[in-house]
């Protein structure tokens, strides 16, 4: 996998969010995100949890925050990479090895998550489309990923 790989999320809020993938930090998670994105898994999936000043979470095909892909859960790949504005990281349950397909993008500094969640990417452009996602847990009319591709 070339280190120039990017995940492009075309959002319903009007544009593309380009995320630089970080296989140097989380090779297993980058591989999973790539497989799911290129397989069309994320297309049409909503951001079911959007908390202003914190993060936007999506990646659950049911839109409830309780589900994932049919693939096995991933082993944690925690690093010292900080959770700051634009950080893309995996959501999980209490078990550190329970990440599957859900992820979140930080709106602001969330250093209390450092070392406890797997950082797999960083937004390079289009953060304004993440900022524009409707907020709520879940939002009344959630924003969604129209299309996700890795190139």
CATH code for the domain in which residue 81 is found: 2.40.100.10
CB 57 within 8 A of CB 103: yes
Q: Is 1 a domain residue?
A: no
Q: Which residues pair with 122 in a beta bridge?
A: 20, 87
Q: Is 2 a domain residue?
A: no
Summarised one tens digit per residue, pLDDT across range 29-45 is 999 999 999 999 999 99
Query: Into how many domains does the chain fold?
Result: 1
In the chain, % of residues over pLDDT 70: 97
* Strands ordered across the beta sheet of 87-90: 47-51, 55-58, 103-106, 87-90, 119-125, 16-21, 6-11, 145-150
Summarised one tens digit per residue, pLDDT across range 60-82 is 999 999 999 999 999 999 999 99
Domain range for residue 123?
A: 7-64+73-150
Q: Is 60 a domain residue?
A: yes
Considering only CA atoms, which of 99, 100, 121, 124 is closest in space to residue 22?
Answer: 121
pLDDT band at 4 (very low <50, low <70, confident <90, very high): low
Q: Is 137 a domain residue?
A: yes
> What was the pLDDT predicted at 2?
46
Q: What is the largest CA-CA distance in the chain?
A: 39
């Amino acid at each position: 996998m070339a280190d120039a790989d990017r995940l492009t999320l075309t959002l319903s809020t009007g544009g593309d969010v380009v995320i630089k993938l970080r296989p140097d930090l989380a090779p297993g998670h980058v591989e999973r995100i790539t497989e799911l994105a290129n397989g069309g898994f994320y297309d049409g999936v909503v951001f079911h949890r959007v908390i202003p000043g914190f993060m936007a979470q999506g990646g659950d095909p049911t839109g409830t925050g309780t589900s994932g892909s049919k693939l096995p859960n991933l082993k944690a790949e925690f690093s010292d990479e900080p959770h700051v504005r634009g950080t893309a990281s995996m959501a999980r349950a209490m078990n550190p090895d329970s990440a599957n397909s859900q992820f979140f993008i930080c709106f602001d500094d969330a250093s209390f998550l450092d070392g406890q969640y797997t950082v797999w990417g960083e937004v390079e452009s289009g953060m304004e489309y993440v900022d524009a996602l409707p907020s709520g847990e879940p939002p009344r009319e959630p924003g969604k990923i129209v299309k996700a591709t890795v190139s």
